Structure 1
Amino acid sequence: MTFRLSLIIKFALVLVLVLPACSAAETLVVPTERPTVTPTATGTPTRQPGTDITPTPLPTRLPLTPTGGPSPTPLFGQPAVVAVRPTASRTPNPNAPRIEYFTTDVLSVVPGDTVRLLWAARGADTAAIYRLDGTGNRTQLWNVGPDGQLSVQTSRRDRVQIEFVLSIGEGISRVEQSLIVPLACPDTWFFSPSPAPCPVGPTAETAIIEQPFERGRMIYIASSNRVYALFNDGVAPAWFSIDNRYDPAIHPESEENFQPPPGFYQPLGILGFVWRGNDRVRNRLGLALDLESSYQGVVQAAPNGGAETLYVSSADGTVLELLPEGDVWQIITPS
């Protein structure tokens, strides 16, 4: 028992001595600088041959063209399409009728003089020459040979130009050529600025009666023995003329029972006869504003599309212009 106790005490002493020796010795820590962080470059990945991936292209969207739905089916089948066939070139026929020339030996003609026409044609036995009027209608005909000359008398009233047509051949082989001959102007106008056309004739002096009215005027021209009523009421026609049928031996000069208001007058004689007997003239013109004026005046005319424009000297020194068909009339102040 004593031995065992002694053994335990020894073992305990050994433990007391050994355990402190086994504990970690105290380590002396020496402070050092904190290491600096040095950034390390990161390499860029390099494509290696054989490792590239080819991108797959996206499909391209085609533009949609609106069609408006299904095409309707024609009720009567497909429309006919005319095929244009090439036109075969036609070989000229050396024997076909042809006109070599159609002319005159003067540059212009004075109205009333004679003009000589000259022509030559081939491929035809006969020919025809037509004269055209101002509207292009064929009014005169001469049957002539395929070549030759023809003298044509012009009229003193022809103006601006005269036109002829030479015609040869028949049917589809007919060939025609026109000839225009200028006309010299033999007359001058009695006023200026003058109209562009040549006057139909020389200045003609004549007795004229003129009277002003509320809505226009009346004029009597002795050379034509006509009375002209000119209206300014804006109603068509703007003017018209009436034959003079006044006879002082049987017709009264005025209407004795009619007394116009103060400042107005009743037209007398030739003008009064038309005014009293024509309701349209009287109603459109109204009453006279002054007594009539009688004077020696001048009348001239100009061609106008197959008709004539009339120019009349007025009592106040102006010129009255009357266009054809009663369309318009106006006052011209000479310079």
Structure 2
Amino acid sequence: MPGETFTLTWESAGAVQAWLYLVVDGRLTQGVPVSPTGSRILTAPGALRQPLEYMLLVFDSSGARISRRLRLPLRQCPAGWFFANPPAECPSGPPVVSFAAYQPFERGHMIWIQARDEIFVLFEDEPVHRWRVFVDLFEEGMPESDPALTPPPGRFQPVRGFGLVWRSDPEVQARLGWALRPEHGFTTRIQATARIRSNVLFMEAPDGGIWQLESESSRWLYRPPGSR
């Protein structure tokens, strides 16, 4: 468990030198010299959310070497996921509950998350759905919309923070198109994986479904309420 102290013990035969490595995200960290047979008292990091992995590397007098790895899974995640059928890994922490705003567009969606002060843009104009995120730069007193822009019948110009992103970024405007209806507020929950890199973000949609945002804006998926 995170913060737990444990003893790592190893044995080797015919070895004259040994090095112990912590493996982080598949990569070896700085090794420490240890005796070819011995033990060491270690403490799991308090922020640990992934299995611990170690590698022992031993050499004989001729310089020949051999290694073995040991993977120590977490007994239990310190925090649980807020939705059913979650990933088979620990979240980075408890879900963050936040006020949010949502607006659907002809070819995508915009979501504002108050707790992060960010606007997520989810595109649906390509077979693989991509996404982008923007800092919400809108301040009271700024123009809420552009009166020179007239949407087609049944469509809307986004306003305030959504409108600022939509008007300021030609790619966003071209890819999303016009809004289908005015934005509305709701309460969402947010959680992310706890990997060293390439984390996945999960956000609760207004209908109780889940937006799953893969790392580095590579793609996003929508999981309807109750889906596996």
Per the normalisation by structure 1, the TM-score is: 0.60
AA matched with 1:162: L
Structure with more strand by fraction? 2
Which secondary structure state, in structure 2, belongs to the residue aligned with residue 280 of structure 1?
A: helix
Deviations 1:282-319 (A, max 9, x none): 10100111111222210112357941221111112221
Which residue of the other structure, out of 196, 209, 213, is the alignment partner of 1:318? Answer: 209
Considering Cα pairs closer than 8 Å and 6+ residues apart, tell me whether 1 or 2 has the greater RCO: 2
Give runs of aligned pairs for residues 190-209 of structure 1, distance below 5 A. 190-209=82-101
Question: 1:150 & 1:141 partners in 2: Cα distance?
Answer: 16
When residues 206 and 152 of structure 1 are mapped into structure 2, their CA distance, relative to the original with a 3 A threshold, is same
Which ranges in structure 2 are unaligned for 5 or more consecutive residues?
A: none
Pairs within 5 Å for 1:79-228: 110-134=1-25, 136-146=26-36, 147-159=38-50, 161-169=51-59, 172-183=63-74, 184-228=76-120
Distance 1:242 1:193, change over 3 A: closer
Alignment correspondent of 1:32: none
Q: In structure 2, what is the equivalent of residue 294 of structure 1?
A: 185
The aligned length equals 223
More helix by share: 1
Equivalent position SS for 2:149: coil
Aligned to 1:229: 121
Q: Is the 8 A contact 2:18 2:58 kept in 1?
A: yes
Deviation at 1:210, TM superposition (A): 1.4
Kindly indicate whether the alpha-carbon contact (under 8 Å) linking 2:24 and 2:53 is maintained by their aligned counterparts in 1. yes
The code of the aligned residue for 1:224 comes to R
Deviation at 1:235, TM superposition (A): 5.2
Q: Which structure has the larger Rg?
A: 1
1:240 to 2:131 alignment:
yes
Task: State the alpha-carbon separation in 2 of the partners of residues 158 and 195 from structure 1.
Answer: 13
Whether the 8 Å contact between 1:192 and 1:334 is mirrored in structure 2 is no
Quick check: 1:293–1:315 contact (8 Å CA) kept in 2? no
Query: Is the 1:302–1:308 Cα contact (8 Å) retained in structure 2?
Result: yes
The structural deviation recorded for 1:267 is 1.1
Which of residues 135, 144, 152 in structure 2 aligns to 1:261?
152
In structure 2, the residue corresponding to 1:223 is in which secondary structure? coil
Residue of structure 2 in register with 1:332 after alignment: 223
Which residues of structure 1 form unaligned runs of 5+? 1-109
CA distance in 2, matches of 1:163, 1:122: 22
Say yes or no: does 1:281 pair with 2:172.
yes
User: Residues 162 and 286 of structure 1: is their aligned pair in 2 closer, same or farther, counting only changes over 3 Å?
Assistant: same
TM-score by length of 2: 0.84
Q: Cα distance, 1:241 vs. partner? A: 2.4
Compared CA separation, residues 185 and 168, structure 1 to 2 (3 A): same
Q: What does the per-residue CA deviation read over 1:22-65, in whole Å, with 9 as the maximum and x for residues that have no partner?
A: xxxxxxxxxxxxxxxxxxxxxxxxxxxxxxxxxxxxxxxxxxxx
The whole-number CA distance in structure 2 between the counterparts of 1:252 and 1:142 is: 60
Q: Is the 8 A contact 2:158 2:182 kept in 1?
A: yes
CA–CA separation in structure 2 for the residues paired with 1:152 and 1:222: 37
Q: Tell me how far apart the structure 2 counterparts of residues 192 and 265 of structure 1 sit (CA, whole Å).
A: 35
Structure 1 residue 269, shift from structure 2 partner: 1.7
8 A contact 1:116–1:151 mirrored in 2: yes
Cα distance in 2 between the residues matched to 1:133 and 1:250 = 48
- From the superposition, tell whether residues 209 and 113 of structure 1 become closer, same or farther in structure 2 (CA, over 3 Å): farther
Q: For 2:18, give the aligned amino acid.
A: A
Which has the larger displacement, 268-277 or 217-226? Answer: 217-226
